[in-house]
Structures are given as C-alpha cells and as structure tokens.
Amino acid sequence: MKGEKFYRPEKYGYTGKIFEEDFVGSIKKSSDYQKALFELKEKTKKGDYVGYNDALELAKKFQPWDPANPNKNFARDLRIEIIDQLGLEREEDMDRVKFYTSVGSPLDVFHGVDAFLEYTDKEGKTHRVTFDLSMNPAKDEYKADLIVKELADPEHESEKYLEEIKETAKNAASLLPKEKK
C-alpha cells in the first residue's frame, strides 16, 4: 500500500472494493461457499436476495481467518483496541471478541455490512457492531452501525492510522456493554 492511494484514489485506480479488501479482507468463496449460497437462495425462494440472519451466518462460516486473530492489520488492530476499550485483560475474555469480514457476501451486497465484530459477554449473550468501509467522503447514509471512511496508510502515516483506530474502537466500544468487575 502506498500512502498516496488513500488521498488520490482516481490517480491510482484504487477502488472502494480494493480499499475494503485491503483493510478487512473478503469472504473465502470456495466451492463450498458457492454451494451454501445456492442452497440458501433455493431455500428462501427470494431470487438472489438473502435475509440478514442467513447472510450473517454465511459470512461467519466462510471466514478467511480465525475471527479471534484476523490477518489483516486493520481488523486485528481494531479488535485489539476494542478489547482495550472494554477493559478485557484475561486471555479467555479477549477470546470472546471476534472480528469478521463480510466483503463480497450477501451481508455486504444486500445489507451494507463490510465487517462486524461480535463480543460475547460473561453471561453468554452476543453483542454485535457492524462496519461499512467507504471511500466516498460524501456518503452519509449507511446501514451499518459505524462507517469507516478513508484511512491513513499504516506504513507511511502510522500515528494518524493509530489515532483513527482508537477513534473507531472508541465508537464501537460505546455500542457494547462494559464488563462488570
């Protein structure tokens, strides 16, 4: 990644899709994924449309990584910062926070969710924050809980990138319940 891509995307052909994949990856579209998607569409009889809960489960099933250890820097850094914001210190508590990509899946296409984070509290209840990554600075309507607009290149603007991670994590953590000590 070159820092300039984030500020002059038209010059380098850097699209929103590439931006999303760079920062949160994309669904693993194996033959098993294609089969599951086909079966889902057949089951619902709604043409190509896939409902929210089915789309969410499909995205969870076909992750390109362990959701407790995403391999994309942004996904991993955001997850870790949210863990810090929640005040989780023990390894088993941290493992209750999982980050998922949904880029290229029905959750993205039909429901505007590029990624989501799930946090399971001590009582076993799962809480979720959804993200929409967008390079469109004028975009002000979205379906996800939080929108993440252009990000600084972590290799060339690390301080700005870390500030953006902290701010995004703070916003996400504010939508999740705090752990009771």
pLDDT band at residue 14, thresholds of 50, 70 and 90? low
Mean pLDDT value of segment 74-97 = 96
pLDDT band at residue 8, thresholds of 50, 70 and 90? very low
| Three-state secondary structure of the chain | CCHHHHCCHHHHCCCHHHHHHHHHCCCCCCHHHHHHHHHHHHHHCCCCCCCHHHHHHHHHHCCCCECCECCCHHHHHHHHHHHHHHCCCCHHHHCCEEEEECCCCHHHHHHCCCEEEEEECCCCCEEEEEEEECCCCCCCCCCCCEEECCCCCCCCCHHHHHHHHHHHHHHHHCCCCCCCC
pLDDT tens digits for range 88-132: 999 999 999 999 999 999 999 999 999 999 999 999 999 999 999
The pTM score is 0.87
